[in-house]
Structure 1
Amino acid sequence: MPYPALVDLNLIRVFVAVYETRSLTTAAARLYVTQPAVSQALGRLRRDLNDPLFRRVGRTMEPTPMAVGLFPGFRDGLAGIDRTIDGVVGFDPAQSRRRSRIALSELGEIGYFPSILGAVRSAAPHLRVEAVPLDVQALPDWLSQGTIDLAVTSSPVAGGFEHAVLKSQAYGVLMSREHPLASAPGGITLADYLAADHVVVAGDSGLPRLESAFRRAGAVLRTDVVLNHFASLPPLLATSPDLLATVPDTIASGWAQSWPLVVHPLPLDMQAVEVCLYRRTTTQQLGALDWLYETVVRAVRGTHGEFFAIHGAARGSATSP
């Protein structure tokens, strides 16, 4: 059966939405139509192209080989059309009432979200911003399906997503002022550091790099105590003079201003951690996405992070890390 000479552009939008979300329900929500309307449009396109395009596998709509082949051209074509329209009409952040979803780690939400929200609301007072708990394993699916708009993470994300480096973060050694190594003349020696009792945060994206640095030094990182949250570190270290933690040095310096803690340079070679902003690849509302991406890049690059919130001090009483 020959292909039709013309295909309704709305059918292409439905196809792309279903392909990206793998869900009729989610595609309908994105397009602001009902699920039956999506099913009807998909049925028309199936007849026009003489291919089922998607088959239900469990709860997901899996594309056929023809759909996989069609998607790049359809997606790029829609993106070109939408960007052309945005170039004429433009995105007006002052009038936008859309919801934006940004995935952030615990530290990202504490340190960067206040600056992100301030930058967004200063230009887009009606735009709704939702911080989504970061799940590094789920990020490729979230970004490719449009579940989130952006993600701030220092963990690499597979899939070749467009991203910008926001920070390059080195690490330091944090401990109680009462720790035997706190007043070590000339700083901590590598031997003393390797032999010490360490506390780590399970979700710290720098932990694999730290473990690699230990291996290069011919040692194994002894994770004597493991925490779930960075916010638990300052009070634990302050009351545990036998433990030390290897954490981002800017955050450590900030905590040392208001807790009875000291920070020393890391005595072994550890690769710096890059904090990056990733953006979704889906095609909806690209003008809004471009604006949000650029706004978040400027906001995070322009701040040291508001990590003073972890100890509840007033803004003026602690030095920013």
Structure 2
Amino acid sequence: MSTHRLREVDLNLLVIFKDIMETRNISATARRLNMSQPAASNALARLRATVGDELLVRSGQTMQPTQVAELIAQDVADGMALLQAALSRRETFDPAHDARRFVIAMTDVGEVYFMPRLLAYCSRHAPNVRLEVSYESGTELRNGLQVGQIDLALGPHEDMSDTLLQLRLFKQHCVSLFRASHPFASQPPTSLAKYRDARHLFVSNPASPYIEIQNRMEKAGVRMSAHDQVSSFLTAPFVVATSDYVVTVPLKLAEQFAGPLALRSIRPPIRLPELETHCFWHRRSLADPALAWLRGVIVELFAERAAGHVSAKP
């Protein structure tokens, strides 16, 4: 589309196009945007004339996108997100008085570790700031950061896009966790053979890098059984607190539960990879003072000294 034609485009048409791509129904879009159905249909007709393509064609009760519509849909969504961010951008952010909603992606384990201190900090220093947690991962997480639906991501993600910036917060090793009356508490295993003989509980988390930890343990001869698995790291400490199971988890998770559940821990006699936790954000948010403030708070509260520096995702 030439610059001359771009001047002729009503941006409201793109809002309607984006919504119809989501609903696949003109009537539903009209209701969501508080407009009449004829007005929504007319807007689609005007956009068709501008683009020179049908964009969406009726198929039964729904509208199906053409190839051109599929090609431009993500660009339209990204452009609208950037425009909205530009229009709402402020030169300064005063945490003591300004209101802002932040969406931070993290795992359930990350929520246990990060949120208590973040919420306590905001309660004291930023009373109008609202923090929300997203559990998105993989493609959904990358897309959320790309379009601005997610502000930051915290975790050991290894599949992030090159368009993201990252700052390493800390590294941690894994420990084997067990109840205080477990035989390991009085006689820690002095050999791999004794460690293998224990009854191990596993967390069926397929995400990298956790899967690599399980692979290393399996190669070392630690038995893995479908009967000895739980689906969440948060469940595991409660299981070992009332049984003779041993579970291998990240150190910071173990520290969260060791005191309340009277648990003990040892370093497993297996060489396991260390976990690196990073803060990720999109390049386009660099000029957002509110997000710069939040990143600073996260670094202040959680980053180890000289833990890392801001860099592009390698």
TM-score after normalising by structure 2? 0.68
Distance (whole Å) between structure 2 residues aligned to residue 60 and residue 292 of structure 1: 39
CA contact (8 A) 1:166 1:297 kept: no
State which of 156, 168, 173 in structure 2 corresponds to 1:170.
173
Percent identity over the alignment is 22
Offset, 1:211: 1.9
Query: In the TM superposition, what whole-angstrom CA distance separates every residue of 1:182-202 from its partner, at most 9, and x where no partner exists?
Result: 2335x5422222332111333
State the Cα deviation string for residues 230-278 of structure 1 (Å, max 9, x = none): 44333432221x2101011133244334433211112112212233334
Residue matched to 1:92: 93
1:64-99: per-residue Cα shift (whole Å, max 9, x none)? 34773696599579848965994xx52535565454
Greater CA drift, 194-203 or 130-139: 130-139
Query: Which residue of 1 is the match for residue 200 of structure 2?
Result: 198
Question: 1 CA distance for matches of 2:185 and 2:53?
Answer: 70
CA contact (8 A) 1:115 1:299 kept: no
Deviation for aligned residue 1:44: 3.3
**Cα gap change, 1:55/1:145 in structure 2, threshold over 3 Å: closer, same or farther?**
farther
Separation in 1 of the partners of 2:172 and 2:232? Answer: 19
Q: Tell me how far apart the structure 2 counterparts of residues 190 and 169 of structure 1 sit (CA, whole Å).
A: 22
Give per-residue Cα distances to partners, 1:128-167, cap 9 Å, x unaligned.
3322344556434544555433333334445545142333
Q: Report the more deviating stretch, 138-147 or 77-86.
A: 77-86
Partner residue in 1 for 2:154: 152
Residue 294 (structure 1) aligns with: 292
Cα 1:16/1:156, change in 2 over 3 Å: farther
Aligned partners of 2:4 and 2:145: how far apart in 1?
Answer: 33
Query: Which residue of 268, 272, 277 maps to 1:266?
Result: 268
> Bigger shift: 61-70 or 176-185?
61-70
My pick for the range that moved more, 294-303 or 10-19, is: 10-19
Q: Cα 1:74–1:221, aligned 2, differ >3 Å: closer, same or farther? A: closer
- State the AA in 1 paired with 2:91: G
Residue type at the aligned position of 1:92: F
Of 172-181 and 114-123, the range deviating more from structure 2: 114-123
The residue aligned with 1:208 is 211
* Change over 3 Å in CA distance of 1:210–1:16 after alignment to 2: farther
Distance 1:64 1:81 in 2: 26
Paired residue secondary structure (1:112): helix
Residue 246 (structure 2) aligns with: 244
Q: Secondary structure at the match of 1:244?
A: strand
Aligned counterparts of 1:93 and 1:55: Cα–Cα separation in 2: 48
Q: Give the structure 2 partner of residue 308 of structure 1.
A: none
TM-score, with normalisation over the residues of structure 1? 0.67
Map residues 28-47 of structure 1 onto 2, 5 A cutoff.
34=34, 43-47=45-49
Deviation at 1:219, TM superposition (A): 5.3
Q: Contact conserved, 1:197 with 1:224, CA < 8 A, in 2? A: no
Equivalence for 1:316: none
Asked whether the equivalents of residues 179 and 262 of structure 2 are also in contact (C-alpha less than 8 Å), the reply is yes
Aligned length: 292
